[in-house]
Amino acid sequence: MLPIGDLNPRRHFPIATVLIIGLNVLVFLYQVMIPEAELQQFILEAGVIPYEVTNRFGPDVAQDLLTCMFLHGSWMHIGGNMLYLWIFGDNIEDWLGTAWFVIFYLAAGIAASLAQVAAGPESTIPTIGASGAIAGVLGCYLVLFPHARVRTVVFLLRFIRFIELPALVVLGFWFVLQFLQGVGSLGAGASGGVAWFAHIGGFVAGVLVGLLVRRSPARKRRSI
């Protein structure tokens, strides 16, 4: 199941969403242009290493909580992340306003990284990617627009179908998958791969923010 668009209209151009996508793309282009040895060092310096967070926390490590969400491991990694951000980010930015959306996005990314740290506090594997921050966007979208129609590609054996599904179904299925994968990864030992608990942590943070702003007296969408 792959979302490719939604039918949720926006009122304003999503400037922050576009700028965040642009920044991610620029950083990734830098990654693919530098030599492999420099790239590995770059990832070590800008990614979040759980062991350093739990044992050597300081300004440099705190900075990694921000820089890590602008790095990606492959074309597929950044492509999938930016697709999700483009589909769901504009409506959240429309609701929160541009400035608050940026704050929310970065906070969700930090929460996601800390969730991954909590799942493996002694790991020395760097965590990179915007997935956790975007998971926060998905969680918030689920709360604010549960009935919005999402254009989705469904793969059934050899058949591909294009259907419209409620966001509650698409994003609910996405979260259940992340949760099951995360639970399944427990006890698997230190190895590279997907940071499932970053996805879970970011999504939960987004849901909490969604509940907060939905119940706020100022429920009307606004733009800054």
Question: DSSP assignment of 197-211, as one string?
Answer: HHHHHHHHHHHHHHH
What is the domain extent for residue 110? Answer: 2-215
> Crossing angle for the helix pair 196-215 and 131-144, nearest 10 degrees?
40
The whole-number pLDDT of residue 13 equals: 94
The whole-number pLDDT of residue 156 equals: 79
Give the total number of structural domains in the chain: 1
Q: What is the pLDDT of the chain when averaged over all its residues?
A: 90
| Cα–Cα distance, 102 to 89 (Å, whole number) | 10
197 domain-assigned: yes
62 domain-assigned: yes
pLDDT-derived band at 213, boundaries 50, 70, 90: very high
221 domain-assigned: no
> pLDDT over 90 for what percent of the chain?
79
Which of 25-34, 47-56, 97-106, 149-158 is the least confident region? 149-158
The whole-number pLDDT of residue 219 equals: 52
Which of 57-66, 92-101, 211-220 is the least confident region? 211-220
**pLDDT: which is higher, 218 or 11:** 11
220 domain-assigned: no
35 domain-assigned: yes
Query: Mean pLDDT across the stretch 196-211?
Result: 95
The whole-number pLDDT of residue 223 equals: 36
Residue 217 pLDDT exceeds 90? no
The whole-number pLDDT of residue 224 equals: 35
pLDDT tens digit string along 136-177? 999 999 999 999 999 999 887 778 889 999 999 999 999 999
CATH number at residue 38: 1.20.1540.10
Which of 149-153, 201-205, 213-217, 220-224 is the least confident region? 220-224
pLDDT-derived band at 4, boundaries 50, 70, 90: very high
Helix, strand, coil in percent for the chain, rounding step 5: 65, 10, 25
Q: Is 71:126 a contact under the CB 8 Å cutoff?
A: no
224 domain-assigned: no
Residue 127 pLDDT exceeds 50? yes
